[in-house]
Amino acid sequence: MTDAIELVVVEDDPRTLKSLLQLLSTYQDLQVVGSAMNGASAIETIRALEPQLVLLDLELPDLDGIEITRRVKAKQAQVEILILTSFEDEKKVYRAIQAGASGYLIKRVAPERIRDAIIEVLAGGVVIEPRMARRFWNYFQSEQGGGTQQAQDLLDDAEREVLQIIARGLTNQETGEVLSMSRRAVRTHLSHIYQKLGTSSRSEAVVMALRKGMIHL
């Protein structure tokens, strides 16, 4: 049996937090190692426990989820962050992923979708709630503003092709299957992409590439 995925849950509403903890405890492959109800406590808890993933509310009484994401990723780039919120706001989705979050779910999603999203993010995917996806990418396109030829030439054809597939939310394994290459080759291309773009995560690389016009959806 493989080790359970270690999670920290950040939610300021006591009833919602209790519900989430109960839900997550029903999955043997998930283990909540800590929780927090405000931003300052969240950052301290995440730094102390170093979970694999943080399930993070967007609206908190002191720091919002976007700022928490930014601070955590600056110190612990390996920690994946999945935003879980009641707000359907494509601008906040954009800002959260820019800050380094690997996904965004609405709180009303089915319980199994939360578990599946956690697995998907840790497998290298980017999770966007389907009913928000079109609004999100439309907003993204309006923000990116075309890009320059110099920016587009920063990545070679293979790297752009890999990032184009990754941007659709596919994992490394799925990207390799689409492009007929090994998962290891996909990881190597991503490593080169991160170096060239100065990024540290798939979602951050996708954000930058879209914004600079290197790839299009």
Q: Which helix (H) or strand (E) is 84 found in, with range? A: strand 80-85
In order of start, what are the domains of the chain with their CATH numbers? 5-137 (3.40.50.2300), 145-211 (1.10.10.10)
Structure tokens that stand for 38 in this block? 């405000």
Structure tokens that stand for 84 in this block? 């879980």
pLDDT at 85 (0 to 100): 82
Give the distance from CA 97 to its chain's centroid. Answer: 6
pLDDT at 145 (0 to 100): 55
- Asked whether the beta carbons of 49 and 10 are under 8 A apart, the reply is no
- Distances, alpha carbon 144 to alpha carbons 101, 150, 159, 193, 206, in Å: 18, 15, 19, 19, 11
What residues contact 100, with CB distance under 8 A and at least 6 apart? 69, 70, 72, 73, 77, 81, 200, 201, 203, 204
pLDDT at 12 (0 to 100): 93
pLDDT at 54 (0 to 100): 97
pLDDT at 209 (0 to 100): 81
pLDDT at 44 (0 to 100): 96
pLDDT at 170 (0 to 100): 78
pLDDT at 1 (0 to 100): 45
Give the DSSP letter of residue 33: E
Residues of the chain with pLDDT under 50: 1, 146-149
- Asked whether the beta carbons of 127 and 102 are under 8 A apart, the reply is yes
